[in-house]
Amino acid sequence: MKDVKGRLIVQVCMGSSCFSRGNQNNLAFLEAFLKEHQLMEKVHLVGTLCEERCTTGPNLTVDGQRYERVERNAILDILQHHLKEKGLCS
């Protein structure tokens, strides 16, 4: 695994349930957003195998904090909150 020290870690569950409930779109959105805003060096984005929380999906974990039923419109708020908290943006 590449060095993630100091970076925000965003984990997207890619288990079949979360994938079909929207995480395939959430992952694509996250990748595009991070590239567009030059945040790839500040955020370590990774897909995970099933997290066994299928009924609450799609699931997303940011620096250890779990989010359930994540919809695309909430992703920006979640990212901004964590980036500010970690001091990676103003």
Q: Would residue 90 count as lying in a domain?
A: no
Where residue 68 sits, what CATH number does that domain have?
A: 3.40.30.10
Nearest-angstrom CA–CA distance, 88 and 90: 7
> Which residue in 62, 60, 52, 65 sits closest to 12, CA to CA?
60
Do the Cβ atoms of 55 and 46 come closer than 8 Å? no
Count of structural domains, the chain? 1
Whether this prediction's pTM lies above 0.85 is answered by yes
Task: Tell me the average pLDDT across 75-82.
Answer: 94
Residue 71 counted as domain residue: yes
Would residue 64 count as lying in a domain?
Answer: yes
Structural domain including 50 reads 8-85
| pLDDT bracket for residue 89 (50, 70, 90) | confident
Residue 32 exposure: Cα atoms within 13 Å on the Cβ side = 8
**Terminal-to-terminal C-alpha distance of the chain:** 28
Determine phi and psi for 82, rounding to 5 degrees. -70, -35
The answer to the question of residue 67 being in a domain is yes
Q: What is the pLDDT of residues 4-63, one digit of tens each?
A: 788 999 999 999 999 999 999 999 999 999 999 999 999 999 999 998 999 999 999 999
